[in-house]
Structure 1
């Protein structure tokens, strides 16, 4: 596949000069995966160690997937695709856009960090729209691509409850009427409730619906790394809101989550899960980003502590009572991976990937050695993470530390296809199991059964067709700060 790049020229990898830094220790830390990660001592200096890989085109390459699976680009030349939603008839909605940009720079390092972060983003203008992809004949080529709705404000999270399609813009949760088979919205959306949008240091608003469709859950990131703009700027931030679909009334469901970037319910349960981007500037191996179940009323540490009761000495005033109440997350993903997507698998995915979750890692900017830039699978046993992450889609980061793409949202279709948005390539990728691999292991369908068919779709669904043929196409892009 030839992929067209939209930036004007390759950008050299940027790493701050050592004379600006304190010693950072080993760049390659021990693996920090699982429930009990090894946490080094904090490292602080004049400036954090930062670097973004140079952008490079795919040319004829593709991302790498496990043996027995095939990956294809089903849409290209999009306008900053972030999250996707598989609709009941098999259509795929893509939220396109990028927000923020209004956070004032309060420290010299903010200017430098902003410059470096910008090297890992696309030059393509924010789409501020939803695009619908359709494979009408089930041949694997999504030949129909239409703008479902435009004029939105940095849309990100998506959820369908019956005939109500919800979109989390960066400033409001809105609702469209949706009828099966629609290729375009019929009119402007209705605002269900405003969302915090001042400063918007972390602008993305993650979204999922409860299994019964009564509530929506919205992830709202902090307005700073570690309260450098003051606590007044953090009112209603670093939280997950629970919103009543009938009235729009909301309450804080959980707090102390620095930047909850994706949400989903565990199939067959009422357990909410999220992935969270943790704080920076404590060294290349602090603080681990994480996957966790979310307890109603739970507090997860930010800003006062991390990974339970590890106090962050930078926060003033400190709050020992809040630290004592902080819940340690379920599963460490490692530091600075920048997870932006999470989706539970289903039996149709097959093989060792039948029971667990997929997490997309957008990739680091805040350490010299890049990490992340892939989609990993975390196996589950007895409803909990069990074991190290397994690479499911990699190759976004090349061996020479250049990057071809950055995965964002991930969705799993009823037919087992895994859908990945890539906001650097400006494409949507689709991973399917080869027919020969599925035929060799018919027993796979018994594991990890699910009562739900699509991560953010509540209500009855139809099974989508199983495409086999690779489409033709070409295409081309922030760490979610």
Structure 2
């Protein structure tokens, strides 16, 4: 293993041995088996780096002049990060790990705490990733990467990642075991994850169809697709937490009552203004959120309109604009922003692709009431979609830095932005 602080190898080895000792060996020739045994792969190719200055960075900063925010807020370029999707912020150092829908995970480091990235490098480049969209941290600093059909864990990622392409790694779910390989698809294959208050790993599993055929529905449900699953952090005791979820690409836990909330992308091809996107609340396991009997909200799908839905369907807390593609979401726990925003949800709308008049490409804010239900959603940041319907950017995820500012990823522009508050409290 490459250079790392002297005290870390023993701690990391102990964690790996205790937490992941019972995990199956990796069969693939992508170096994970070697890395999980704390052995070098022989890979001497330096990790890819992304320049943070130059014409591209200047153009991104110039585009941000078009973004509209409430009074007192400002938005700045935090990092140039190609294909930036979901983000995970390491709890102690603030190093940002960024997933993609391609084959890379990026490590973004602000060494001087000027709230702008000093360097962006490819993380764990000895590993062959496949759609490593989902990234999340455990409170004790283990980075989980959820790929299309595998889950990996990287203890002390921020330190091992500094040394080069080889990092400490462990297999949580082996390749081909997260979902049946017959359901692998480029459609809805980007996963998201969170560690819950119960210390379990939660993963949203989008199903591969717009609306699944009836003869596939039982198999999908049995395996947790069109749902959210949870498991121990070593991959054991897997269970289905939520059913009837078409394609969730954003979830978080309310820190006040420890309950799960998630966005869901709804059925395409039903018209410009229907069905609505969803923000859902799942306070307990076993609930069904209506898909595929409902295409979004209470709008029935053509394919299942004559089928009786399961009893006790849970309808969304918030109905978003149709096809705005609400993806990453986070509860705001900081103190930088005014009291209005504290305890509420920030939600990234990626923007529509099949609507005759595009909509979305903005950030929404949803207040949470004292009774734990959602208030009315409002636009918080917009301008990535120009008046003539052209995208300058497409927000994917929103996460909070330790200082209370927000990071916003953008896979179209290949960037991460930082929103801070400088006005009167």
TM surpasses 0.5:
yes
Counterpart Cα distance in 1 of 2:96 and 2:124: 10
The TM-score normalised by the length of structure 1 is 0.68
Which residue of 315, 339, 359 maps to 2:326?
A: 339
Q: Which runs of 4+ in 1 moved over 4 A?
A: 179-182, 306-310
User: What's the RMSD between the two structures over aligned residues?
Assistant: 2.5
Alpha carbons of structure 1 residues 422 and 307: separation in structure 2 relative to 1, 3 Å:
closer
Name the structure 2 match of 1:136: 111
1:365-376 mapped onto 2 (5 Å cutoff): 365-376=353-364
Q: SS in structure 2 opposite 1:325? A: coil
Q: For the Cα contact (< 8 Å) 2:278–2:297, is it kept in 1? A: no
Change (3 A) 1:146 1:310: closer
Provide, for residues 92-141 of structure 1, a one-character-per-residue CA deviation record: whole Å limited to 9, x for no partner: 3333422xxxxxxxxxxxxxxxxxxxxxxxxxxx3x22222222222223
- CA distances 1:185-235 after superposition (whole Å, capped 9, x unpaired): 75363221232253322101110001242x111001122111248516735
Deviates more, 1:292-301 or 1:376-385: 376-385
Which residue of 117, 121, 132 maps to 1:146? 121
Structure 2 residue matching 1:260: 3-state secondary structure: coil
Aligned partners of 2:68, 2:55: CA distance in 1, in Å?
15
Give runs of aligned pairs for residues 175-324 of structure 1, distance below 5 A. Answer: 175-178=153-156, 181-184=159-162, 186-187=166-167, 189-193=169-173, 194-196=177-179, 197=181, 198-200=183-185, 201-213=187-199, 215-228=200-213, 230-231=215-216, 234-235=220-221, 236=223, 237-294=225-282, 295-306=284-295, 310-315=299-304, 318-322=306-310, 324=311
Residue 433 (structure 1) aligns with: 421
Q: In structure 1, how many angstroms separate the alpha carbons of the residues matched to 2:416 and 2:326?
A: 17
Report what 1:72 is aligned to.
76
DSSP-derived class of the 1:4 partner: helix
Question: Is 1:391 matched with 2:395?
Answer: no
Aligned length: 354
- The 1:347–1:58 alpha-carbon spacing in structure 2 relative to 1, beyond 3 Å, is closer
TM-score (norm. length: structure 2)? 0.77
Deviation at 1:385, TM superposition (A): 4.8
Matched with 1:159 is: 136
Q: 1:277 to 1:349 in 2, by over 3 A?
A: farther
Pick one of 94, 98, 101 that aligns with 2:97: 94
**Residues 399 and 217 (structure 1), Cα distance of their counterparts in 2 relative to 1, 3 Å cut:** same
Distance (whole Å) between structure 2 residues aligned to residue 270 and residue 368 of structure 1: 39
What 5-or-longer segments of structure 1 have no aligned partner?
6-56, 99-125, 442-481
Distance 1:401 1:84 in 2: 27
> Offset of 1:265 from its aligned partner?
0.7
Instruction: Provide closer, same or farther for how the CA distance between residues 183 and 375 of structure 1 changes in structure 2, counting only shifts above 3 A.
Output: same
Contact residue 159 and residue 208 of structure 1 kept, 8 A: yes
